[in-house]
């Protein structure tokens, strides 16, 4: 049995590079950017008026002039005009190009306009005021977005601004999610007394959906030959197989055996953690196999701890570790890393983690009551209120 | 000009109820649940074996018996068996029904099995050990998930478990997102010197996508009659219109005028905040109209502050306010609520908000550098390092 740290290290070392694809920018929300986005021109691209009002030659105001004849209007989206007479002004709209021969904008609030004459009501006007100078935000050629970031609405706006109608993103791995166990019936079936419905595969599908990874699912009964035939096919077709169940020590838990018979290299089986201990992990040349224990909470936490980390490593994303503060003393004796289910509250900028009552790894509804797992290391048995530990927030 | 608090209150009072629809459970991730989910039977539904090993009659162990003849195997997913002779045992697998006439499970690790006889190697066995009792997690009829929550992978798993192949969720509003401004060209166009590309609509589409709200988009030029004709049609067809631009005081900012001419009731125009001040909000009997200022950061923050809050109110979701701790002293004199762009770091369970350098509301790339807005109230001018304020995290 290996430690969580060691298991994670092995998982992260096994990531492969599945390459890059180019997609329409407006479909890229949540995907991983694989190219740097560069300013195609200065931002703003011209001296940009930032208030509605009049543009003047600042020198005239310096010389004491307060009344300006309005020569015309410079609208946003119109070609740059020129102030013909330096003693006049041009009305300007937010977003417009600053007219030639002008060097300050006085906003309507500080003006009175009568009969085509604008009178400045304030005593102080600054050179170049209310103008967003060309190139102030970014210069042409500057990197606006580095590659290897997760795309969010903010990035989508920048893609549009610089004319990136398609963007290069990490290809998503092809994933098959497989449930095993003869005790499982379909969601719309009526289980007999000794049966339960399939649920973990759907949880996994949704957890992957949150990473924008589409996945296929299947159920295989606890028959060694059927398992073997199907898995052989999947190993050839998919980049990743996720299993839920059939990795304990039970008589019908053929899975590790079947995988090894099919030439999958076992990298570890069993991790010193609770819940999720009987996790089996292996690989072939082309496929990574995550076989999670069948209990709902075990499958859930292992997907977040191992598969999510594997995926982010694989696409080149690094996240800052989040931590939270324990709201209660915790005593946990086993020599295992303890992923304790907690509810998170925000208090004066502190993340407070309050343990929820749970009946162990089979307790599906505990995942509803909690919104995260706080990770308590195996080298201690007492964890004090007020101490901070790594947190995985899933809601 | 009204305060942010007052504006938000008006926006929240304007929400309507667009009803409920029933969708396949596996498509419901991210949607808002509009029914309570009830346990269709006890959880676990039977006394569930939680370790692989043997099931015995605990009384026999109490009486000093250590060797048990194996009568058979109880697999997960098989009908309940009965122990025929109380002095024997049945091999049991994790997830299986506890066989009749047995009352404790001893795991393989604590056994030696030879010639069909299991010998218990440990001295202590507890009554009902390694059994997850029927109904321990939830009793039949218990509410597993209350309505009015945002569905996540944890809830998807519970839907499957209780056989909810379809679930009732809040209908999404029909949203049209409209850009205005003659300075805008399409993303795949080459702007002239005085033009820029359309970007805010795509940012808004993505921000709504994160709420699972599909939306339509259109661009209307700065022509009053064209604006009027189009908006009239949209007011009749959509539940929500989102505008970006044309709400300042500029000569070509017809929008407020056009909306009022079309019978839209103006609820406010201009909010005491930076950025995002020229926000216009109104409604008809059937439509809510959010007209955001055209600067990228203004549109972004107003969508998060007002539209997100409006949506969550409308679907019945309440979120706990998040707060973060300022990493630097901030001085801000104007009598405005200041949505300051910050980068969030997690340190020992603290959310630390470090202001980023920004060139104001026209600076699109500042949205990339930051990951949140800290909300500094208008009744103060000095905000000290170490103080905590509400935070909107968007990444």
Same domain membership, residue A293 and residue A195: yes
- Percent above pLDDT 90 for chain A: 83
DSSP one-letter code for B115: T
| C-alpha to C-alpha distance for A243 and B74, rounded to whole angstroms | 23
Contacts with A, B 315-334, CB within 8 Å: 320-325
Report yes or no on B140 lying in a domain. Answer: no
* Paired strand residues for A2: A271
* B31 and B59 co-located in one domain: no
Beta carbons of B39 and B141 less than 8 angstroms apart = yes
Per-residue pLDDT reduced to its tens digit, A340-392: 999 999 999 999 999 998 777 667 789 999 999 999 999 999 999 999 999 99
- Angle between helix axes B200-209 and A153-161 (nearest 10 degrees) is 160
Q: Closest by alpha carbon to B152, among A180, A351, A304, A243?
A: A304
Q: What's the mean pLDDT in A32-47?
A: 95
Mean pLDDT of chain B: 94
CATH of the domain at B164: 3.90.105.10
Write the DSSP symbol of residue B303: I
Angle at which helices A4-13 and A308-315 cross, to 10°: 40
Question: Is B153 close to A97, i.e. CB distance below 8 A?
Answer: no
Q: What is the average per-residue pLDDT within A76-99?
A: 93
pLDDT reading at A249 higher than 80: no
A54/A120 same-domain check? yes
Is residue B190 less than 8 Å (CB to CB) from chain A? Answer: yes
Q: Pick from B265, B280, B315: which residue ends a domain?
A: B315
Give a yes or no: residue B142 inside a domain.
no
- Tens of pLDDT, residue by residue over A131-185, are 999 999 889 999 999 999 999 999 999 999 999 999 999 999 999 999 987 788 9
> Which of B117 and A76 is assigned the larger pLDDT?
B117
Identify the domain containing residue B30 by its residue range: 21-37+147-170
Tell if the CB–CB gap between B368 and A145 is shorter than 8 Å: yes
Interchain proximity B359–A294, CB inside 8 Å: no
Same domain, A198 and A307: yes
Model pLDDT, residue A183: 80
B185 and B290 share one domain: yes
Between chains, do B153 and A203 touch, taking CB under 8 Å as contact? yes
Given A315, A338, A370, the domain boundary residue is: A315
Q: Let me know whether A205 and A341 are in one domain.
A: no
H-helix or E-strand spanning residue B110: none
Where do we find the tokens 């109820």?
B17
Q: Are A359 and A221 members of one domain? A: no
Contact B53/B91 with Cβ under 8 angstroms?
A: yes
CA distance B155 to B29: 8
Band (pLDDT 50/70/90 cuts) for residue A77 is confident
Query: In this structure, are B104 and B80 located in the same domain?
Result: yes
Gyration radius of chain A over CA positions: 31
Residues A212 and A263 in one domain: yes
Nearest CA among B88, B84, B121, B85 for reference residue B106? B121
A279, A298, A315 — which closes off a domain? A315
Q: How many domains does chain A have?
A: 4
Answer yes or no: is B139 within a domain. no
Q: Give pLDDT, residue B251.
A: 60
Decide if B137 is inside a domain. no
pLDDT at B252: 60
Q: Mean per-residue pLDDT for A181-198? A: 90
Residues from chain A contacting residue B209 (CB–CB below 8 Å): 29, 153
Tell me what pLDDT residue B245 has. 79
Helix (H) or strand (E) holding B9: helix B4-13
* pLDDT for the residue numbered A181: 79
Of all residues in chain A, the one with the smallest CA distance to B91 is A251
**Does residue B212 sit within a domain?**
yes
Look at residue B295 in the predicted model and tell me its pLDDT. Answer: 86
Domain of B354: which CATH number?
2.40.340.10
* pLDDT score for B294: 84
For residue B43, is it within any domain? no
Q: Write out chain A residues lying below 8 Å of B75, CB-based.
A: 182, 222, 250-252
Low-confidence ranges of chain B (pLDDT < 50): none
Q: Which two tokens stand for residue A228?
A: 């073997």
Low-confidence winner among A209-213, A333-337, B219-223, B371-375 (lowest mean pLDDT): B219-223
In a domain, B307, yes or no: yes
Q: B152, A191 in Cβ contact below 8 A?
A: no
CATH number at B96 reads 2.170.190.11
SS (H, E, C) chain A: CECHHHHHHHHHHCCCCCCEEEEEHHHCCCCEECCCEECCCCECCCCEECCCEEEECHHHHHCCCCEEEEEEEECCCCCCCECCCCCCEEEECCCCECCECCCEEEEHHHEEEECCEEEECCCCCCCCCCEECCCCCECCCCEEECCCCECCHHHHHHHHHCCCCEEEEECCCCEEEEEECCCEECCCCCCCCCCEECCHHHHHHHHHHCCCCCEEEEEECCCHHHHHHHHHHHHHHCCEEEEECCCCCCCCCCHHHHHHHCCCEEEEECECEECCCCCEEEECCCCEEEEECCCHHHHHHHHHHHHHHHHHHHHCCCCCCCEEEECCCEECCCCCEEEEEEEEEEECCEEEEEECCCCCCCCCCHHHHCCEEEEECCCCCEECCCCEEEEEECC
Same domain, B213 and B339: no
Nearest to B247 by CA among B270, B273, B224, B218: B270
Q: Which CATH number goes with the domain that contains A204? A: 3.40.980.10
Does residue A251 register a pLDDT over 70? Answer: no
DSSP of B322-333: PEEEESS-EE--
Chain A residues in contact with B207 (beta carbon < 8 A)? 153
Mean pLDDT calculated for residue range A31-55: 94
Helices B153-161 and A200-209, axial angle in degrees (round to 10):
160
Same-domain check for residues B296 and B329: no
Kind of pairing, strands B330-331 and B382-383?
Answer: antiparallel
The nearest CA of chain B is from the CA of A362 a distance in Å of 8
User: Do A144 and A248 sit in the same domain of this protein?
Assistant: no
As a whole number, mean pLDDT of residues A259-283 equals 95
**Per-residue pLDDT band at A120 (split at 50, 70, 90):** very high
Would you call A82 an interface residue with chain B, using a CB distance cutoff of 8 Å?
no
Compute the distance between CA of residue B204 and CA of residue B241 in angstroms, rounded to an integer: 11
């Amino acid at each position: 049995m290996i430690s969580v740290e060691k298991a994670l290290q092995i998982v992260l070392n096994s990531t492969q590079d599945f390459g890059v694809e180019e997609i329409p920018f407006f479909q890229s929300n949540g995907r991983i950017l694989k190219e740097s986005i560069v300013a195609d021109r200065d931002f703003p691209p011209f001296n940009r008026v930032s208030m509605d009002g009049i543009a003047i030659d600042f020198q005239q105001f310096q010389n004491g002039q307060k009344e300006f004849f309005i020569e015309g209007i410079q609208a946003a989206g119109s070609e740059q005009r020129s102030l013909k007479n330096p003693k006049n002004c041009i009305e300007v709209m937010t977003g417009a190009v600053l007219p030639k021969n002008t060097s300050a904008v006085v906003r309507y609030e500080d003006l009175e306009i009568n009969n085509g004459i604008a009178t400045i009501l304030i005593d102080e006007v600054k050179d170049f005021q209310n103008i967003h100078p060309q190139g102030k935000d970014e210069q042409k050629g500057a990197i606006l977005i580095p590659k290897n970031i997760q795309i969010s609405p903010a990035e989508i706006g920048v893609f549009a601004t610089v004319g990136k109608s398609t963007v290069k993103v990490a290809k998503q791995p092809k994933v098959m999610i497989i449930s095993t166990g003869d005790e499982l019936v379909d969601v719309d079936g009526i289980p007999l007394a000794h049966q339960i419905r399939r649920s973990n595969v759907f949880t996994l599908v949704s957890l992957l959906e949150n990473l924008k990874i589409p996945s296929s699912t299947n159920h295989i009964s606890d028959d060694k030959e059927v398992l073997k035939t199907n898995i052989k096919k999947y190993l050839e077709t998919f980049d990743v197989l996720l299993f839920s169940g059939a990795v304990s020590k039970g008589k019908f838990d053929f899975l590790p055996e079947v995988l090894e018979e099919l030439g999958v290299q076992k990298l570890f089986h069993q991790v010193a953690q609770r819940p999720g201990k009987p996790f089996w992990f292996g690989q072939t040349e082309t496929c990574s196999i995550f076989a999670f224990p069948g209990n709902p909470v075990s499958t859930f936490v292992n997907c977040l701890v191992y598969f999510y980390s594997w995926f982010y490593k694989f696409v080149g994303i690094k996240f800052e570790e989040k931590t939270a503060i324990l709201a209660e003393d915790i005593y946990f004796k086993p020599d295992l890393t303890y992923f304790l289910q907690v509810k998170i509250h925000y208090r004066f900028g502190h993340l407070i983690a309050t343990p929820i009552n749970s009946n162990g790894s089979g307790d599906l509804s505990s995942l509803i009551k909690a919104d995260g797992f706080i990770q308590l290391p195996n080298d201690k048995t007492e964890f004090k209120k007020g101490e901070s530990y790594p947190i995985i927030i899933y809601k």
